[in-house]
Chain A
Amino acid sequence: MEKLVGMVLLAGELLLTCGAEMYRVEETIERMGISAGFAQVESFATPTGLFLSLHTSDGRVYTRVRRIRRSFSNLALISEINAISRSFSSGETTIEDVTTRLKGLKKEGVPHNFLRLLMGGMGAAAFTVLYSGSGIEALIAGIIGLIILLIDNKLEDYPIPNALVAAVGAAVAAGLAKGAALLLTINTNVITLGAVMILAPGVVMTTAIRDMLSGELVSGVTRGAEALSIAVGIATGVAIILSMGGN
C-alpha cells in the first residue's frame, strides 16, 4: 500500500513541477488511485503544494502533503506522465514499472541542448518578421534570442526568481539591440521586441486561463499573478536599458 501511495504522490508532484493544469493533476491522481485499488481518492493541488488522501476499502486513510518549491515548463513530461497513467489505468503496466519510469522522469529538468537554443533564436527571428521587421533585423534578433536563452539557462540553475531572470534576459536583449544599432541602420524596437517575446511566460499564461475556466480559482489567480510578474520583469529590463542615455 505504501508503495502505491508513493507512486500516486510522485505522479502528482511531477505534473505540478512541470506546469500542468490543476484539473489534470487532480484527475491523474484520482484515476491512478482508483486503478490502484483505493476506495476513495481526494486531492487538492495548488501551484505551490499538493495534498492528497487515499481511503482503502477497509477504512484506513493515507494522507500525504507535498510542498512544491520549484517549477519549470516541460510539456514532454506532462505528455509522458499522461501516457504512463493511461497505461496504468488500463492495467498494462505494473506498479514497479510505473514507479521506476516516474523516478527516471524526475531527474529530468528542462533539457539544455543546442537545438533548443537554435530554435529559440529562430523564434526570435520569426517574431521580428511577424512585427514586420526586415530580414537583417530578423537575423540580429535571432542571434540575440540565442544569447539570452543561453544566459537564462545558466541563471535557472541558481535560486533566482523567474521575474528577475526574465528582467536580466530582457535587459541584455535591449542592450545588444542598441549596440547593433551603433553599427547598422536598423530599428532597435522591432529587434528587442522579437528577442524578448521568447521570454514570454506562455505555459503559465495559458494554464492560468484554463485553470480559471475549470473553477480552480486559487491556482488561476496565482498563476495569473506569476505570468504578470514575469511580463513586468521583461518590461522593466527593457525599460532600464532604453531610458539610459536617451534614444
Chain B
Amino acid sequence: MVVQVLAGFVSAVAFAFIYNVPRSEIFRTGILGGLGWLTFSLTKDAGGEVGAMFLGATSVALCSELFARRYKQPVIIFLVPGVIPLVPGGRAYLTMLSFLQHDYNEGVTLLVSTFFLAGAVAAGIIIASSIFRVYSRAKYVRRQL
C-alpha cells in the first residue's frame, strides 16, 4: 500500500507537470494525489469501492479548497492533479476490452461500475466545493450586515 500511495503521489506530480502547474505548488499537488489514494485504500474494505472512491475524492477536493485559500491560487491547480489518480481509467479499459472480446455481459457489468466510480468522484468534488461555497457565501453575507 505504501508503494501505491507513493505512486499516487508521483502520478499527481506528473500531471502537475503535464498541465504546467506553477513550480512552487507541485509538491502540494503530489501530497493531494497521495492523500486521495490513501483514503481510498484505507476505506475500501469497510465502505466498498464506490464509497471509498467518494471519500477519496471528497478528501482531495476539501484539501484543494483549503490549499487554494491558504496559498492564494485557483482551486483547479490543486484539484485537477489531485483527483487524477482516482479516475477509474482501469475499469474503463477493462470495459472496452470485454466489448472487444464480445463478452457483453461482463462489459455491461464493468460499464455500470465504471459509471458508479466516475459518479462517486464527481459527487465528492461537488459536495466538497459546495461546502466551501456555502461557507464563503455565509461569510460574505455576514460582512454585508
Contacts and interface: CB of A to CB of B under 8 A. Distances in A.
A222 interface: no
A200 B87 contact: yes
A114 B95 CA distance: 34
Interface string A230-245: 0100010011001100
A106 interface: no
B20 interface: yes
A200 B15 CA distance: 10
A206 interface: yes
A21 B7 contact: no
A31 interface: no
A209 B3 contact: no
A82 B74 CA distance: 7
Nearest to A240: B100
B93 A238 contact: yes
A122 B10 contact: yes
Contacts of A143: none
A120 B10 CA distance: 10
B43 interface: no
A197 B89 contact: yes
A131 B91 CA distance: 10
B126 interface: yes
A102 B10 CA distance: 32
A206 B83 contact: yes
Contacts of A110: 20
Given A126-B10, A130-B8, A243-B100, A79 B22 contact: yes
B17 A235 contact: no
B38 interface: no
Contacts of B129: 210, 213
Interface of B: 3-4, 7-11, 13-22, 25, 37, 72-77, 79-81, 83-85, 87, 89-90, 92-93, 96-97, 100, 122, 125-126, 129-130, 133
7 contacts: A111-B20, A129-B3, A130-B11, A189-B93, A193-B93, A203-B76, A210-B129
Given A123-B17, A200-B84, 18 more contacts: A82-B74, A86-B72, A111-B20, A116-B20, A126-B7, A126-B10, A127-B11, A130-B37, A149-B18, A198-B14, A198-B18, A202-B81, A202-B87, A203-B76, A210-B76, A210-B129, A213-B129, A239-B96
